[in-house]
């Protein structure tokens, strides 16, 4: 389909969406806030300008009926800048939305109703990780990219021990850990199999534990009719979360056979780059950084381990979408532009430029020929995320949950119950 035809169709859809939103009262009609039609729309994000500019130049050239203007913001100041801009009435029309900020900005986002973009179409077009943007009120953002949690490993360390394949299941990792741990004469671990058990020096500790919870069948946060609740106290999954938490902390317990990690180690990403760690759980987007840190490391990547005999596969992910602000002065054009960005070549090139996977199912079927991308793309097909109400606050919740068990101040059951109560309080704010 030619770009002109596609633009025409999407503009028609956008106008229909706009009409629905106006009729529902989501967008008031008046002289000052009438739809702007085609023109310039402003896009904010924290992605580097030099990464986005060539993509947008190509996109704008292919769609001359409007212009998307990009403004880069720093990660640290994004929230404050957006709040100030909204207060002054000059905020952007749309912005790149990380999944862990979707809850935070939900009341500032103009959701797309399912009457205009059906739920079935969304699930058919986008991988499951993109469903973090689904609420009962509609779609918070069009998913653009998925950054899956994977397992990096040092091939030389495994080769030295005669280990042919990295562990596909957690049971396999349990068996390998004692073999791969190296100790000095005082029985101190100097080289570790895996960094699990602690929070402070395990990079992505919250994300790893959350992925384990989701592998157990727990979505962490649920939503019904606009009401959000913690599901950490749910008992309908096959594996209770207390046992999952205990599994995680056992790797930091000197009394356990899997003991592999303690506070004397540096952050796990640094330990891996120093070749003092066999397995490192990180995101696809970290690949180039890990290579740059130690170009001589015999680095390889494998899928995130799974629960043996589970009925489904799952790994964690960071998802980026493109969302519309309810204060947009040019919603119709913004919707047209975002739709084309999510459904056209831009989505693929955006993911490639960031070294991660696209969110569209059809694009995930087209894997780049390098040795790493197939694992990233395949992992993205079964990746999931969750609606984090406040990354900083939930970091503390997960930290306290882990530290409470390690210090013996809490049982695993009590730690889960406490985390559930605190998460519910956050969701009420």
- Please indicate, yes or no, whether residues 139 and 153 belong to a single structural domain of this protein: no
Q: Do the domain assignments include residue 375?
A: no
Is residue 62 located within the same domain as residue 188? no
| Residue 17 pLDDT exceeds 70 | no
Q: Are the CB atoms for 358 and 149 separated by under 8 Å?
A: no
CA separation for the pair 277, 265 (Å, rounded): 10
In a domain, 373, yes or no: no
Band the pLDDT of 237: cuts 50, 70, 90: low
**Shared-domain flag, residues 192 and 137:** no
Is 378 inside a domain boundary?
no
pLDDT digits over 95-120, tens only? Answer: 999 999 999 999 899 999 999 899 99
Q: Is residue 377 in some structural domain?
A: no
Residue 227: helix, strand or coil by DSSP?
Answer: strand
Boundaries of domain holding 343: 3-146+318-367
Query: Shortest CA distance to 135 belongs to which of 149, 148, 122?
Result: 122
Indicate the burial class of 4 (C-beta count within 10 angstroms; 0-12, 13-18, 19 or more): exposed
Q: What is the pLDDT of residue 238?
A: 66
Provide the 10 A C-beta neighbour count for residue 301.
21
Summarised one tens digit per residue, pLDDT across range 270-283 is 999 999 999 999 99
pLDDT in tens, 42-92: 999 999 999 999 999 999 999 999 999 999 999 889 889 988 888 888 889
Same domain, 421 and 276: yes
One domain for residues 123 and 271: no
Long-range contacts of 414-422 (CB under 8 A, 24+ apart): 415/242, 415/245, 416/232, 416/233, 416/241, 416/242, 416/245, 417/233, 419/230, 419/232, 420/230, 420/232, 420/233, 422/397
CA distance 385 to 214: 9
Place of tokens 């740059």: 292
**Shared domain check, 278 and 210:** yes
With respect to residue 37, please indicate whether it lies within any of the assigned structural domains.
Answer: yes
pLDDT tens-digit series, residues 315-350: 999 999 999 998 888 888 999 999 999 988 999 999
State how far the alpha carbon of 249 is from the alpha carbons of 52, 141, 240, 396, in Å: 41, 36, 15, 16
What percent of the chain stands above pLDDT 70? 90
**Is 79 in the same domain as 163?**
no
Backbone dihedral angles phi then psi of residue 152, each to the nearest 5 degrees: -85, 145
Which of the residue ranges 167-176, 208-217, 227-236 would you say has the lowest mean pLDDT?
A: 227-236
Among 397, 333, 337, 391, CA closest to 102? 391
What is the pLDDT, as a whole number, of residue 25?
A: 39
Per the structure, the count of domains in the chain is 2
CA angle, corner 415, sides to 411 and 417, nearest 5?
A: 115
pLDDT at 31 over 60: no
Quick check: 39 pLDDT over 70?
yes
At 114, which CATH number?
A: 3.40.190.10
Question: Same domain for 363 and 390?
Answer: no
Element containing residue 81 per DSSP (H, E): helix 78-88
In a domain, 372, yes or no: no
> Measured between alpha carbons, how far is residue 300 from residues 16, 26, 56, 153, 294 in Å?
48, 49, 33, 5, 13
Residue 239 has pLDDT above 80, yes or no: no
Same-domain check for residues 12 and 126: yes
pLDDT of residue 250: 98
More confident residue, 345 or 385: 385
For tokens 């009420």, name the residue. 428
Write down the pLDDT at residue 234.
74
Closest CA to 228 of 140, 141, 315: 140
Work out the pLDDT band at 235, boundaries 50, 70, 90. low
Q: What is the pTM assigned to this prediction? A: 0.90
Q: For the packed helices 412-428 and 241-250, what is the interaxial angle rounded to 10 degrees?
A: 110
In a shared domain, residues 141 and 66? yes
- What ranges in 260-408 are assigned the alpha helix state H? 268-273, 287-293, 331-343, 345-354, 361-364, 373-381, 391-406
Report yes or no: 277 and 147 within 8 Å, Cβ to Cβ: no
Percent of the chain with pLDDT over 90: 78
Question: Which alpha helices (H) appear in 203-344, and where do they start and end?
Answer: 205-215, 241-250, 268-273, 287-293, 331-343
Which tokens sit at 5?
A: 């035809």
Mean pLDDT of the chain: 90
C-alpha dihedral over 42, 46, 52, 57, to 10 degrees?
10
Residues 217-230 have a mean pLDDT of: 93
Nearest to 214 by CA among 146, 310, 284, 110: 310
Same domain for 180 and 260: yes
Q: How far apart are CA 343 and CA 63, in angstroms?
A: 13
Q: Write down the pLDDT at residue 2.
A: 44
pLDDT surpasses 80 at 137: yes
Output 155 or 226, whichever has higher pLDDT.
155
Burial of 161: CB neighbours in 10 Å, binned 0-12, 13-18, 19+: exposed
Confidence of residue 236 (pLDDT cuts 50, 70, 90): low
């Amino acid at each position: 389909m030619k770009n002109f035809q596609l633009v025409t169709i999407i503009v028609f859809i956008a106008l229909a969406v706009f009409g629905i939103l106006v009729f529902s009262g989501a967008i008031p009609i008046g002289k000052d806030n009438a739809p702007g039609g085609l023109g310039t729309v402003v896009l904010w994000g924290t992605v580097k300008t030099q990464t986005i500019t060539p993509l947008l130049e190509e996109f704008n050239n292919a769609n001359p009926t409007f212009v998307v203007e990009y403004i880069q913001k720093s990660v640290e100041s994004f929230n404050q800048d957006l709040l100030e801009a909204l207060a002054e009435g000059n905020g952007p029309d749309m912005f790149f939305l990380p999944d862990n900020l979707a809850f935070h900005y939900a009341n500032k986002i103009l959701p797309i109703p399912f009457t205009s973009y059906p739920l079935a179409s969304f699930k058919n077009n986008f991988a499951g990780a993109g469903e973090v943007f689904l609420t009962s009120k509609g779609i918070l953002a069009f998913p653009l990219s998925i950054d899956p949690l994977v397992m990096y490993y040092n091939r030389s360390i495994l080769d030295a021990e005669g280990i042919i394949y990295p562990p596909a299941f957690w049971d396999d990792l349990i068996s390998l850990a004692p073999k791969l741990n190296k100790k000095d004469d005082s029985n101190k671990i100097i080289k570790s199999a895996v960094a699990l058990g602690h929070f402070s020096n395990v990079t992505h500790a919250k994300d790893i534990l959350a992925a384990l919870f989701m592998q157990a069948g727990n979505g962490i946060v649920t939503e019904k009719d606009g009401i959000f609740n913690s599901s950490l106290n749910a008992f309908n999954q096959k594996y209770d979360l207390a046992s999952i938490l205990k599994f995680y902390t056992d790797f930091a317990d000197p009394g356990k056979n899997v003991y592999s990690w303690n506070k004397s180690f540096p952050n796990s990403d640094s330990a891996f780059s120093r070749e003092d760690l066999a397995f490192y759980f990180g995101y696809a987007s970290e690949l180039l950084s890990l290579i740059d840190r130690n170009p001589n490391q015999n680095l390889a990547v494998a899928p995130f381990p799974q629960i043996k005999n589970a009925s489904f596969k799952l790994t964690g992910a960071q998802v980026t979408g493109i969302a519309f602000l309810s204060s947009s002065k040019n919603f119709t054009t913004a919707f047209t532009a975002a739709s084309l960005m999510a459904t056209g070549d831009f989505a693929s090139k955006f993911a490639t430029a960031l070294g991660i996977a696209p969110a569209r199912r059809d694009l995930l079927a087209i894997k780049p020929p390098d040795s790493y991308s197939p694992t990233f793309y395949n992992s993205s097909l079964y990746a999931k995320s969750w609606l984090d109400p406040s990354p900083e606050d939930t970091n503390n919740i997960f930290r306290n949950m882990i530290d409470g068990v390690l210090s013996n101040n809490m049982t695993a059951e009590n730690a889960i119950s406490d985390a559930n109560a605190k998460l519910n309080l956050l969701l009420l704010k």
